[in-house]
């Protein structure tokens, strides 16, 4: 993969580090201290955010099309996790845990699971991205004299 420096990648990498750090500390807290559902839901949300921002920043930094496709897929995994994790965290934080039965959690996480499965297997069916190409903005390509 060919990498290029862009002004958008660095702030996204900083947010990736912050989200990943919060996710790791949250998961360590749950595993070592006590199993708090609020912290578990928050750590899942931060993990999804870290994956999303990591993929998005590397998508900006990648200069070739194959790299952009790979990191777009990684980014889509995070994009699929965040809404369901956010809803779960909001319900747990608001003390509406009774609403989160196994059946409702399964229903809530079905669309993200299908989205990730479709994104990972996109080369076989093209349902997520039919075709990918790079484009240049007007005036940024080679100049003619």
Per-residue pLDDT tens digits for 75-122 = 999 999 999 999 999 999 999 988 888 999 999 999 999 999 998 898
Q: How far is residue 3's CA from residue 6's CA, in Å, rounded to a whole number? A: 9
pTM over 0.85: no
Judged against a pLDDT cut of 60, whether residue 145 lies above it is answered with no
* Residue 61 domain-assigned (yes or no): yes
* Residue 43 domain-assigned (yes or no): yes
Q: How far is residue 52's CA from residue 74's CA, in Å, rounded to a whole number? A: 7
Q: How far is residue 54's CA from residue 79's CA, in Å, rounded to a whole number? A: 11
Domain containing residue 119:
9-123
* Residue 99 domain-assigned (yes or no): yes
Return the higher-pLDDT residue of 1 and 108.
108
Question: What is the domain count for the chain?
Answer: 1
Q: Quick one: which of 61, 87, 82 has its CA closest to 72?
A: 61
* Residue 4 domain-assigned (yes or no): no
* Residue 134 domain-assigned (yes or no): no
Q: Quick one: which of 116, 40, 117 has its CA closest to 85?
A: 40
Q: How far is residue 12's CA from residue 131's CA, in Å, rounded to a whole number? A: 26
Q: How many CA atoms within 13 Å lie on the side-chain side of 110?
A: 7
Residue with tokens 């779960």: 88
């Amino acid at each position: 993969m060919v990498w290029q420096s862009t002004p958008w990648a660095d702030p996204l990498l900083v947010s990736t580090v912050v989200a990943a750090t919060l996710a790791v500390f949250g998961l360590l807290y749950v595993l070592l201290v006590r199993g708090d559902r609020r912290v578990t839901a928050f750590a899942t949300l931060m993990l999804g955010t870290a994956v999303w921002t990591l993929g998005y920043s590397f998508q900006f930094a990648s200069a070739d099309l194959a790299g952009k496709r790979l990191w777009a897929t990684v980014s889509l995994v995070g994009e699929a996790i965040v809404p369901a994790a956010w809803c779960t965290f909001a319900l747990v934080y608001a003390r509406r845990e009774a609403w989160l039965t196994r059946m409702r959690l399964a229903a809530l996480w079905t669309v993200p699971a299908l989205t990730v499965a479709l994104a990972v297997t996109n080369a076989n069916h093209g349902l997520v991205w039919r075709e990918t190409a790079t484009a240049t903005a007007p005036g940024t390509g080679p100049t003619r004299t």
